[in-house]
Amino acid sequence: MKELKFIKYISKRPLFKGIGDDCAVLNYKKDKYLLATTDMIVEGVHFMKNALPYQIGWKAMAVNISDIASMGGVPKHALISVGIPRKKPMRYLLDIAKGVEAAARKFRITIIGGDTNASAKTVVNVALMGEVEKRLLLRRSGARTGDLIFVTGALGEGKRKHLTFIPRLHEARFLTKRFKVNSMIDLSDGLAMDLNRIADSSGTGARVCESLIPLSEHSDPLDKAIEAGEDFELLFTASIKESRKIIKRMGEDLPITLIGEIVAKKYGVKIIEESGKEKTLKSEGFRHF
């Protein structure tokens, strides 16, 4: 069974609720939802054997903060579980802990517990809880025909900065508190796959312009950059009316780029090449299996 098919399978089981977004959404307070997410990073998959342990710890926390950000929320409390090969020195484990703690301090997260185990390879799992005002909750399924599509930052830097990236929590909160954003997702698996996820969840199509997609100076060619994943930027949509307001604020305090529009489902998800030719943007990006 492939990864995406497996996720679709478990999301339909009666015991699973909230699958299909970057976080599960639970009833919490009168004016707020509780957000819950968990991500595991594994040696040989998310980082190489020679990665600095501090950076491993930072990334383990940061990928979860990025999930909370994409739902419009604020991270609060975390549980950390670590699997370490027996031969590793204590300093290695302590440096992972320092990386986790640094990310937690920066984003005002309280670490409330966890677990440790012996493991053949280094594995770090974070379970992160946060909260979001009900009026600010964002989901993948909120895109509407006519919305414009934006992305934060520049793409194609995943290989270079995936161990040190700063989650776009500030940008997400800036957007949600000032504008009516309709949908959002973080780009963990690449623009191609994650844009298809928004379209699929929202029952729409999408059209992006190749010439508008912001690439880092360190980026791979476009086709690889939009499929490689681990950029951890935010992809979001807003109505034309709200987009006009957002565009006026674009700049250093809001590093975003307009790249396309949401269209009717019958048109599919397409990319317009610089030649003007339309090409289907297949849901291809990073997959674990």
- C-alpha span between 54 and 101 (Å, rounded): 10
Categorize the per-residue pLDDT at 14 as very low, low, confident or very high, splitting at 50, 70 and 90.
Answer: low
Task: Report the range of poorest mean pLDDT among 8-12, 35-39, 243-247.
Answer: 8-12
| pLDDT, tens digit, 9 for 90 and up, residues 93-112 | 999 999 999 999 999 999 99
What is the per-residue pLDDT across 195-254, written as a single tens digit (0 to 9) for each?
A: 999 999 999 999 999 999 999 888 878 888 899 889 999 999 999 999 999 999 888 678
- Give me the sign of the Cα torsion angle 42, 46, 48, 54: negative
Neighbour-count burial of 20, counting CB atoms closer than 10 A to its CB (0-12 exposed, 13-18 middle, 19+ buried): middle
Confidence (pTM): 0.92
State the pLDDT at residue 100: 98
Pairing relation of β-strands 181-186 and 74-84?
unpaired
The length of the chain is 289
Question: If you search the block for the tokens 């339909």, which residue do you land on?
Answer: 12
Domains delineated in the chain: 22-134 (3.30.1330.10), 138-280 (3.90.650.10)
Cβ proximity of 229 and 159 under 8 Å:
no
Q: Which of 2-11, 67-76, 150-159, 263-272 has the lowest mean pLDDT?
A: 2-11
CA-based end-to-end distance of the chain: 8
Q: Are 167 and 66 in contact (CB under 8 A)?
A: yes
Residue 286 reports pLDDT greater than 70? no
Residue of 94, 100, 114, 130 whose CA lies nearest to 22: 130
Both structure tokens of 206? 């999408």
What gap in Å lies between CA 103 and CA 126, rounded to an integer? 12
C-alpha 25/C-alpha 68 separation (Å) is 10
pLDDT digits (tens, 9 = 90+) for 63-84: 999 999 999 999 999 999 999 9
Q: Scan for tokens 């009666």, then name that residue.
A: 14
Backbone angles phi, psi at 187, to 5 degrees: -85, 75
In 3D space, the residue among 107, 115, 127, 111 whose CA is nearest the CA of residue 36 turns out to be: 127
Query: H or E element: which one contains 78?
Result: strand 74-84
Cβ pair 234, 184 in contact under 8 A: yes
Per-residue confidence band for 12, with pLDDT thresholds at 50, 70 and 90: low
